[in-house]
Structure 1
Amino acid sequence: MNIMCIDIGKGTQDILYLDMEKSNIENAIKLILPSPTRIIADKILKMEKDLKIDGKVMGGGPVNRAIFQHIEKGYKVIMTKRCARTVRDDLEEVSKRGIILKDAVDCPDVILRDLDFEMFKKIFREIGVEFRPDIVGVACQDHGYIKGQSDRITRFNYFREQLRRSSNPLEYIIVEEEGIFSRFKSILETLRESNYKGFVMDSKMASICGILDYAIEEGIEEFIGLDIGNGHTLGVSIKDGKIKGIFEHHTGMLTPEKLKDIVDRLAEGSLRNEDIYEDGGHGAVVLEGIEPQEILITGPNREMFKRYGRYAYPGGDVMITGCVGLLGAFEYNREKLLR
């Protein structure tokens, strides 16, 4: 049973490839590569001509900036409607930014995609390993889109609905196309077209599951888990493996002291949704307070909270926190995913 876990961020794509019957996580193949959006953005920035772009919805960020810079240089950019939602889910907004939309293009110069299995196969050939995953778990971030509604509300409503359905984060996997999540849908389509079984998970939740794995290994039953990312910071209070509260804010709007205050209120059970949303964040839901033994932190900006918490090293490596979370989610949902 080979499982491939891919955690796609803005800066890197972190990969764990594990034969679950022959090796432990320390002996698994681990790759930290530039993120797909960075790879494709670098390609666009080197081009000196009008561009035709096709593919699927993928993570934006650097790709979007590269496209806009190309237009500012005076070049035309033509995109198919199916991939243009990478720029904005609202295609009217995409057109207003100077991008020409078409139903199809011939001989595209750039293909947008979050998953490049041909690249993975080449890497594995070079190291003499057969690339044959039985299941692929992918973590990424998708705000979701409902026309006329703030994406902050749309994204946090997803978390609120998941928590209403179950307080176990290991259950928060997506195996069927979700109407409001174009990026999740694109990844599931790619897995199906590539003949791989798999699932998708929000990258923040995958990270929380990775922290949970670390907490269990360390014998910590009651804790606050924080993923302090480049764009978003997500925090959860967990007791006996169950989420008791959750919030998400924008990292750039936080200071260590401000985050400490939010974490304290999350623990005591007094944090309100409006406290976060009216401050420019996404929101908060708190079911009850806890008495945390530890504050466990991960993410590229974890140093912000270093003096208040403890770094978590799932699988012995902070860079594969999300991958460890995906692995845990697979093990928990194994029967459902393999049927």
Structure 2
Amino acid sequence: MNSARGVLAVDIGTGTQDILCWFEGNLMENATKMVMPSPTQRVAQQLRALREKRQDVVLVGRTMGGGPCVREVVRHLEAGLRVYALPEAALTLHDDLARVQAMGVTVTEAAPNGVCQVLLRDLDLDRIGQAMSLFGVPLPDGVAVAVQDHGFSPKESNRLFRFRYWHDFLHRGGDLQALALEPPPSFMTRMQAVLADCPHALVLDTGIAAILGALLDPRARQAMAHGGTVVNVGNGHTIAALIRDFHVLAIYEHHTGMLNPVKLSEHLRRFRQGLLTQEEVFEDGGHGCAYGPEPLNGSFETTLVTGPRRRQLFEEQSLFAAPFGDMMLTGCFGLLQAALWAQGYGEVLA
């Protein structure tokens, strides 16, 4: 067996990028694992350092996840420094380049001479490979990546745009295995940017990767046959799904920082009953919720919770999912399952 056969799974969030390096034939528990600062955090740190030196910057590279790095761009401008951006990198700030320019960023086709370049991209295989090589670990031949992509929506709320995508997914059956085998649509520009850097990668949404990974927890098997709720409390976003037999029947998303235990508990109670509306969640500052065509028969009370901020919103630790004993790698295990499905391995990891 070729020892290079395997999967590098990279789950890219707001706070961290979680990395699993698994080789065929190895025990999952012995796989190489890393929890590192996310790409947007690293770019934000670089911008802060350059601001302290009073240096103008030009953003180059790909469209990537925003959040922390976008806030640092705003602070750079507020400090009276110049920020330039090449068009593709500028889409990190907003899908409407006119709005990017209205922020004070100069969108340009070529990087100005003498201006410090800040490289934007979500997937940095060179950096990951260098870290692995320090311990004699090669990169596997397979790559699976998760990012949250709102979709290209220059004139409309990207939250609404994203939930139209989820609505379509649910009305196509909500099949997690089928979704894992689909290439990302062209309007998912952040996913397409990952594919531009790594054309052979499998790319999934972070929420779907987390849901799929949580279902690999042994406690999920019996519960999911009859229906249950999976919740991922991420650093930036909280996603919940009503699941039966690896099919998503309904999906909910909000910003973690805007939730508290009481609000989330009430949202989930009404979500399970099919009573929570897209408009209510959206007007509360969240992304929304969507339901598939199948009636929500069952209580969906059995709940599995994962994500780095789960303790902020849940107290009952018996709910916490930890596939293969490692909660922080839940999304990576979901990516690995998806990658194995894509390679024709039809079984569920155990």
Letter in 2 for 1:236: A
Within the candidate set 199, 204, 213, 1:201 is matched to 204
Question: Contact 1:245–1:288 (CA<8 Å) still a contact in 2?
Answer: no
Question: Contact 2:9–2:19 (CA<8 Å) still a contact in 1?
Answer: yes
26-35 or 307-316, which deviates more: 307-316
Map 1:83-94 → 2, pairs under 5 A:
83-94=89-100
Question: Contact 1:57–1:182 (CA<8 Å) still a contact in 2?
Answer: yes
Map 1:214-253 → 2, pairs under 5 A:
214-215=217-218, 219-221=222-224, 222-253=227-258
C-alpha RMSD of matched pairs (Å): 2.1
Partner Cα separation in structure 2 for residue 253 and residue 128 of structure 1:
43
Letter in 2 for 1:323: C
Alignment partner, residue 35 of structure 1: 38
Question: Contact 1:314–1:321 (CA<8 Å) still a contact in 2?
Answer: yes
Partner Cα separation in structure 1 for residue 164 and residue 108 of structure 2:
32
Within the candidate set 100, 106, 120, 1:112 is matched to 120
Within the candidate set 37, 46, 49, 1:46 is matched to 49
Note the alpha carbon deviations across 1:18-45, whole angstroms, 9 max, x for none. Answer: 002x202101010111111111211121
CA apart distance, 1:188: 0.8
Alignment partner, residue 285 of structure 1: 290
Matched, 1:275 2:280: yes
SS at match of 1:225: strand
SS at match of 2:215: helix
Note the alpha carbon deviations across 1:65-89, whole angstroms, 9 max, x for none. Answer: 2222222222211111111111111
Note the alpha carbon deviations across 1:138-166, whole angstroms, 9 max, x for none. Answer: 10111113232211110111111111223
Matched, 1:138 2:142: no
Within the candidate set 77, 102, 107, 2:108 is matched to 102
Matched, 1:167 2:174: yes
264-273 or 235-244, which deviates more: 264-273
Note the alpha carbon deviations across 1:79-101, whole angstroms, 9 max, x for none. Answer: 11111111111100111111111
Matched, 1:149 2:153: no
Partner Cα separation in structure 1 for residue 100 and residue 280 of structure 2:
32
SS at match of 2:217: helix
Letter in 2 for 1:181: M
Alignment partner, residue 320 of structure 1: 329
SS at match of 1:111: strand
Matched, 1:80 2:89: no
Letter in 2 for 1:211: A
SS at match of 1:324: helix
Alignment partner, residue 348 of structure 2: none
TM-score, reference length from structure 2: 0.88
Matched, 1:186 2:190: no
SS at match of 2:75: helix
TM-score, reference length from structure 1: 0.90
Matched, 1:265 2:275: no
Residues 177/211 of structure 1: CA separation in 2 closer, same or farther (3 Å cut): closer
Structure 1 unpaired stretches of 5+: none
Matched, 1:26 2:35: no
Question: Contact 2:177–2:246 (CA<8 Å) still a contact in 1?
Answer: no
CA apart distance, 1:170: 3.1
Within the candidate set 311, 320, 325, 1:303 is matched to 311
Letter in 2 for 1:329: A
Question: Contact 2:181–2:342 (CA<8 Å) still a contact in 1?
Answer: no
Question: Contact 1:170–1:209 (CA<8 Å) still a contact in 2?
Answer: no
Alignment partner, residue 214 of structure 2: 211
Partner Cα separation in structure 1 for residue 330 and residue 170 of structure 2:
21
CA apart distance, 1:175: 5.7
Structure 2 unpaired stretches of 5+: 346-350
Question: Contact 1:176–1:188 (CA<8 Å) still a contact in 2?
Answer: no
Of all paired residues, the percent bearing the same amino acid is 35
Partner Cα separation in structure 2 for residue 96 and residue 174 of structure 1:
39
Partner Cα separation in structure 2 for residue 38 and residue 44 of structure 1:
10
Letter in 1 for 2:12: I
SS at match of 1:172: helix
Name the count of aligned residue pairs. Answer: 330
Question: Contact 2:16–2:38 (CA<8 Å) still a contact in 1?
Answer: yes
CA apart distance, 1:106: 5.7
Letter in 2 for 1:68: V
SS at match of 2:333: helix
SS at match of 1:261: helix
CA apart distance, 1:223: 1.3
